[in-house]
């Protein structure tokens, strides 16, 4: 059976980034398949599969049946504190399932991208390029670093995309910083945001366009995708609050401080270099402020 042109499979496609990516793929005329434990509305036209991604035989069978042209692995235990508490689950999803999916894509020759994170770095440097040494501070970052290695070993033709922070609103479900922010602001709450935690954010629309372009290019290797500059979480949150129509004064800046009981350590400087992506992709990368603006003004 030959690969089906235009068919894309999104493991973890029911989440915040995955749902938006599925929409973008459908808008390009692709046949989008979402692999996720829970079927959700929000992406009309997508085909859902509830395959257990921790079952290698089930993943292999699904890919062999669908024979997609392109595959993206967005599935992850991405809650940093949950990953620290439930290490076996985090390893099973972030490493072993990624290995299985990559091996399945290698067998059928599909274009493949694995989503990783700037959490593979310790955040003590000033800016991180793709080839810089990995030194994660928490178990989530450890699983992403090991997931990268597993994917590259299983499929040398795989692409690995690292992001720092995705901005926008979900169309299906998943963890969206802006959705939680808006809910808290609507409820009249004051919000504390770290002034010494820096990120290189990307809005979900730009991110989706970059992913689809990289799949078409059959990109292999590691690439960073984010804004052309960086911003601290307090400034980012204030800007977002203002664009959502709320007073910036409701955002209280504070340093991260010492790790709290039950909370895994976070890296401070998630400052990733995007020069490789800017040289490779036709999709323009935006500044941090432009990314915040696009994430809010283009919400559906």
**255 within domain boundaries:** no
**30 within domain boundaries:** yes
> pTM of the entire structure?
0.95
Range of the domain at 152: 4-168+202-227+271-286
Choose among 233, 264, 273, 275: nearest CA to 251: 233
Calculate the alpha carbon distances from 65 to 30, 175, 190, 266 in Å. 17, 30, 50, 40
**188 within domain boundaries:** no
Say what the pLDDT of residue 257 is. 55
Domain count, the chain: 1
Say what the pLDDT of residue 41 is. 87
For residue 281, is pLDDT > 70? Answer: yes
Percent of the chain with pLDDT over 70: 96
**196 within domain boundaries:** no
pLDDT tens column, 170-219: 998 778 999 999 999 999 999 999 999 999 999 999 999 999 999 999 99
**65 within domain boundaries:** yes
**256 within domain boundaries:** no
Q: Are 122 and 135 in contact (CB under 8 A)?
A: yes
Q: What are the residue numbers of the active site?
A: 140
Say what the pLDDT of residue 40 is. 87
Say what the pLDDT of residue 259 is. 55
pLDDT tens column, 133-181: 999 999 999 999 999 999 999 999 999 999 999 999 999 877 899 999 9
CATH number of the domain that residue 8 is part of: 3.40.50.720
**148 within domain boundaries:** yes
Banded pLDDT at 263 (limits 50, 70, 90): confident
**195 within domain boundaries:** no
Say what the pLDDT of residue 111 is. 98
């Amino acid at each position: 059976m030959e690969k089906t042109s235009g068919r894309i499979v999104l493991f973890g496609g029911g989440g915040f980034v995955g749902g938006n990516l599925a929409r973008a793929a459908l808008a390009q005329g692709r046949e989008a398949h979402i692999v996720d434990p829970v079927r959700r509305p929000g992406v009309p036209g997508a085909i859902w599969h509830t395959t257990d991604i921790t079952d290698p035989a089930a993943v292999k069978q699904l890919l062999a049946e669908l024979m997609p042209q392109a595959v993206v692995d967005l599935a992850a235990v991405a809650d940093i504190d949950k990953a620290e508490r439930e290490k076996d689950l985090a390893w099973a999803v972030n490493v072993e399932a990624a290995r299985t999916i990559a091996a399945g894509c290698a067998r059928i020759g599909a274009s493949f991208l694995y989503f990783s994170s700037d959490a593979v770095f310790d955040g003590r440097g000033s800016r991180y390029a793709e080839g810089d040494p990995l030194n994660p501070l928490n178990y989530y970052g450890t699983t992403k670093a090991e997931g990268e290695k597993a994917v590259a070993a299983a499929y040398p033709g795989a692409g690995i995309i690292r992001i720092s922070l995705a901005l926008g609103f979900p169309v299906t479900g998943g963890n969206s910083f802006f959705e939680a922010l808006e809910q808290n602001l609507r409820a009249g709450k004051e919000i504390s945001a770290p002034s010494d935690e820096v990120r290189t954010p990307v809005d979900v629309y730009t991110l989706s366009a970059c992913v689809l372009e990289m799949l078409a290019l059959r990109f292999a290797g590691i690439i960073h995708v984010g804004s052309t500059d960086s911003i601290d979480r307090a400034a980012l949150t204030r800007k977002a609050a203002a664009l959502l129509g709320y007073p910036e004064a409701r955002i209280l800046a504070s340093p991260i401080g010492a790790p709290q009981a039950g909370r895994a350590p976070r890296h401070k400087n998630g400052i990733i270099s995007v020069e490789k992506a800017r040289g490779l992709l036709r999709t323009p990368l935006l500044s941090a402020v432009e990314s915040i603006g696009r994430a809010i003004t283009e919400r559906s």
